Chains A and B, each alone.
Chain A
């Protein structure tokens, strides 16, 4: 029983150090992107660096997994400050705001419809390909 809080503390510390590790990668990536690759945003560049390190086996998954899970699970918290910036645009309140919401609703319905129908068709095609491959293998 006495060990339980200890385990929790250890886990939080390891998550924290993994968040620090991912933050360091981000800082490195923002330097790289600033000096050599201005076309690629730092976050995306850092993501590809980590992806490459994982694929090449330089970085064990267990060194960054819980930190990554925490960062992604709490992401909502990180963009709240940006949404509060809307107080600087009081003109968005009246009819403009209503039009914006309409644009978003209509566009969302459109994206949902087109994407899901295309993916459904793609899935059927995938099955067809697989079946054909199997038949070729048999004959």
Chain B
């Protein structure tokens, strides 16, 4: 019975994901974005159905497993965009080297100022980078990868909503800066938004996201020492 329920959870997750994607492609409303809608619907189903998390995770852990190969897959877009990296090496590395400390330090300091526990401070630290990198960082700094995954999703939604406002408010001249803003602050969600602005913004956003993720993973010992 439990095995059947676990399998049902996997099917439900796949089905909701597929439906949300289709719906978002048709309507394009921000609240139907799969990033927001799918976790909410699945969590709702698990809560309403009183399904224990270990039952839910029994079969769906195969989906989580694919985050590993997905990290490896980042090699391909990085290789394809090596010319852009070489051309804008200076501004890209400035962006990454500034964005990552600002993201980590401000998350931890604000969490501390708001009186959140040490586990929450640690789990918030890598929230602005792409999920596979964030989870890798979380487990090496003693944070909870589960909580980090949730914070990464909230960050993505926040980035989608705030991105447009900030682009209007800030006096930015270059497409490079607009792409970096979205990629550094809101990982995949920001990159999707940047692709809507233009191809160059999209490439820069995805590069900032990927390089920022790698930089944060390597900075993990530093972050662990700091938090």
Complex: A89 Cα to B71 Cα, angstroms: 27
A43 adjacent to B75 (CB under 8 Å): no
Whether B39 contacts A71 by the Cβ 8 Å rule is no
Count of A-B residue pairs with CB < 8 Å = 292
Q: Which residue in B39, B173, B188 is a CB contact (below 8 Å) of A75?
A: B188
CB under 8 Å from chain B, chain A span 24-66: 25-26, 29-30, 39-44, 46-51, 54-55, 61, 64-65
Chain A residue total in the interface (Cβ 8 A): 74
Q: Is the interface of A mostly helix, strand, loop or mixed?
A: helix
Are the CB atoms of B68 and A107 closer together than 8 Å? no
Looking at chain B's contact residues, the main secondary structure is: helix
In the docked arrangement, what's the CA distance between A84 and B38, Å? 10
Name the one of B106, B114, B217 contacting A41, with C-beta atoms under 8 angstroms: B217
Are A77 and B63 in contact (CB-based, < 8 A)?
yes
Contacts of A100 in B (CB 8 A): 111, 116, 120, 124, 151, 154
- A88, B52: Cα distance in complex, Å: 9
Cα separation A125 to B92 with both chains bound (whole Å): 12
Query: Shortest distance in angstroms between B41's beta carbon and chain A's nearest beta carbon?
Result: 10
The 4 closest A-B pairs by CB, nearest first: A43-B71, A122-B91, A85-B146, A82-B149
Contact sample, A vs B, 18 pairs, CB 8 Å cutoff: A23-B68, A43-B68, A51-B79, A75-B188, A76-B188, A77-B63, A78-B63, A78-B70, A80-B38, A80-B63, A82-B131, A100-B154, A101-B154, A104-B154, A108-B162, A108-B185, A114-B99, A119-B91
Which residues of A come within 8 Å of B, CB atoms?
19, 22-23, 25-26, 29-30, 39-44, 46-51, 54-55, 61, 64-65, 67-69, 71-72, 75-89, 96, 99-126, 129
User: Could you list which residues of chain B lie within 8 angstroms of chain A, going by C-beta atoms?
Assistant: 13-14, 17, 34-35, 38-39, 42-43, 46-47, 53, 56-57, 60-61, 63-64, 66-80, 88, 90-92, 94-95, 98-99, 102-103, 106-107, 110-111, 114-116, 120, 124, 127-128, 130-133, 135-136, 140, 145-147, 149-155, 158-159, 162-163, 166, 170, 172-174, 176-178, 180-182, 184-186, 188, 208, 214, 217-218, 221
